[in-house]
Structure 1
Amino acid sequence: MFADDDRPKPKKLHELGCDLTYLSAGELEERITLLKQEIARLEADKASKTSSRSVAEGLFKSK
């Protein structure tokens, strides 16, 4: 049996609140782009879930 702990853990590209002192302007721009993409992904998922919930609430209210 394989233990999940043996697998290499992916390196975090950015951690909230981390020290930014030694990052170049280019590295900061990469992180900003990464975070903007993550925000867009989160907003899309939220919109999908909100839409699904609205449809479900509409079905139950109509009865």
Structure 2
Amino acid sequence: MKEKRNIHTLSDDEFIKEVIDLGVMLEEVYNNKEFLILFMQIIHSDFRILNNYKYKEERNRI
């Protein structure tokens, strides 16, 4: 199993570099500061959800 990385806990600069390296954010987004501010809130939340999600298998009861 792949180790979880807490990308959402990085500083803003480290987080931006990481998501650009992962291909999640285009450098064009980074260069548009207004869009970057809006996009950062969304992508931070996405990574927080992905990192904290725990699958719980449930059996269907009939």
Q: TM-score, normalised by structure 2?
A: 0.35
Higher relative contact order (CA 8 A, sep 6+): 2
Structure showing greater Rg? 1
